[in-house]
């Protein structure tokens, strides 16, 4: 503590009494009041400016608030379905198959001795595909041949004896029966030897080969047996599609249809409805339709996924984009713009073409239907119709 502070009993100059000290304290108070007054004036000016700004822009804010409550939408008009438009086609999935396809099994048990056709090779009807080694059948043939020779000798001997009336007719009949039975067994086993040569059942292409040299193959297509080859006749293909029950009336045998490949949808292939099942499947409620597809250049491959586009007769019905529909407890609705307000209309739907849907009743071509309406849209809501921006031209 300084000597001056000690003399003043530790109090600062501001708290001391006396003429000089009173003047000093009075100046500090005046300066404080001045600063406070300036701050109050600035606050009042800021508040006044804010209130003035709100009052000045009250009309603008009100207009903007009212504008924000409006729903800006795009609209579309119902239009008659065109017979040539892509949206009136019923596209159904299917898989191409050869007009004839077969899995080729062995008729006897044996080992693969040779095979002559691989995948992708063509074969004519009756052409050899593989040869099997069937030692068991060979042994059986040898046994049957020995029995046949024995019964033949007995038959011939007893025939001579009967001519001399040395034996009875009954004894000759028994020897004759044994000979005929041995002959039939030998013929059956020799036929089985022919089964060791596997041949093509029709003209076609080998699509699978499941054997190698030395493989053991079993007879038939049951148990553990497996197909030796798979063949398909690919000059002409066909595809099965299943048409919903409500559209079967428009399916006619002989009509042309378009076959669309995912790799080249812009190049449809023309097929023909060859036949139908003639009855609705009880499980799926669909009609099976067989479509034949010519394949002279063999550029279509069996097993390929395709879409079959069937032309549907629209009969002048109206169509709308599917993104105009609203679904509620009362069924499907659309939101129509009338005098700038929303009016919900119930509609009856027809054929669904994918991106478009047929409207059987509820709207006319003059109605303006809202695209992508929100679920919360209500009758009487104010609407502003927007004009879509023009699509820029290529190269611009």
Confidence grade of residue 13 (pLDDT, cut at 50, 70, 90): low
Distance (Å, rounded) from C-alpha 206 to C-alpha 122?
6
| Helix ranges restricted to H, 134-238 | 135-163, 169-194
Q: What is the mean pLDDT of residues 6-32?
A: 60
As a whole number, mean pLDDT of residues 62-69 equals 56
High-pLDDT (> 90) share of the chain, %: 35
Q: Distance between CA atoms of 74 and 86, rounded to whole angstroms? A: 23
Q: Rounded to whole angstroms, how far apart are CA atoms 4 and 9?
A: 9
Q: Find the mean pLDDT for residues 234-261.
A: 91
pLDDT digits (tens, 9 = 90+) for 322-331: 899 999 888 8
> Residue 125: its pLDDT value, please?
93
Kindly provide the residue ranges of all beta strands, DSSP E only, lying in 19-127, ordered along the sequence. 71-73, 75-76, 79-80, 89-104, 110-115, 122-123
Q: What pLDDT does 66 receive?
A: 53
Is residue 242 within 8 Å of 310, Cβ to Cβ?
no
State the Cα–Cα distance between residues 237 and 273, nearest whole angstrom.
Answer: 12
Q: What gap in Å lies between CA 32 and CA 357, rounded to an integer?
A: 81
Between strands 229-244 and 204-209, the pairing is: antiparallel
Neighbouring residues of 193: CB distance < 8 A, sequence distance ≥ 6: 134, 137, 138, 141
Q: How far apart are CA 162 and CA 36, in angstroms?
A: 156
Q: Write down the pLDDT at residue 396.
A: 46
228 pLDDT tier (thresholds 50, 70, 90): very high
């Amino acid at each position: 503590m300084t000597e001056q502070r000690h003399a003043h009993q530790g109090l600062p100059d501001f708290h001391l009494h006396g003429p000089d000290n009173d003047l000093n304290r009075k100046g500090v108070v005046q300066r404080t009041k001045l600063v406070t007054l300036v701050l109050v004036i600035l606050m009042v000016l800021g508040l006044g400016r804010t209130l003035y700004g709100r009052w000045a822009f009250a009309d603008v804010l009100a207009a903007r608030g009212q504008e924000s409550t409006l729903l800006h939408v795009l609209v579309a008009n119902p239009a008659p379905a065109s017979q040539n438009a892509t949206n009136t086609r019923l596209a159904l999935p299917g898989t191409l198959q050869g007009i004839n396809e077969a899995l080729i099994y062995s008729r006897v048990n044996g080992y693969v001795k040779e095979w002559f056709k691989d995948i992708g090779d063509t074969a004519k009807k009756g052409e050899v595909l593989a040869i099997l080694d069937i030692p068991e059948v060979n042994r059986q043939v040898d046994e049957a041949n020995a029995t046949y020779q024995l019964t033949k000798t007995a038959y011939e001997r007893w025939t001579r004896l009967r001519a001399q009336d040395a034996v009875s007719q009954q004894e000759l009949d028994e020897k004759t029966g044994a000979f005929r039975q041995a002959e039939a067994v030998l013929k059956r086993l020799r036929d089985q030897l022919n089964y060791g040569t596997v041949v093509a059942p029709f003209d076609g292409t080998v699509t699978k080969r499941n054997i190698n040299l030395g493989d053991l193959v079993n007879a038939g297509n049951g148990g553990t047996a497996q197909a030796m080859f798979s063949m398909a006749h690919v000059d002409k293909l066909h595809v099965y599609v299943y048409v919903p029950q409500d559209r079967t009336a428009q399916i006619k045998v002989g009509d042309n249809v378009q076959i669309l490949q995912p790799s080249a949808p812009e190049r449809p292939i023309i097929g023909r409805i060859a036949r139908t099942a003639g009855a609705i499947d009880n499980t799926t409620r669909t009609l099976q339709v067989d479509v034949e597809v010519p394949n002279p250049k063999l550029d279509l491959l069996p097993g390929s996924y395709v879409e079959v586009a069937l032309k549907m007769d629209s009969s002048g019905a109206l169509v709308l984009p599917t993104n105009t529909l609203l679904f509620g407890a009362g069924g499907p609705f659309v939101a129509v713009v009338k005098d700038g307000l929303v009016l919900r209309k119930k509609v009856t739907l027809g054929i669904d073409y994918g991106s478009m849907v047929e409207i059987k009743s509820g709207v006319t071509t003059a109605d303006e239907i809202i695209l992508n309406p929100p679920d919360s849209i209500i009758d009487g809501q104010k609407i502003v119709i927007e004009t879509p921006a023009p699509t820029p031209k290529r190269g611009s």
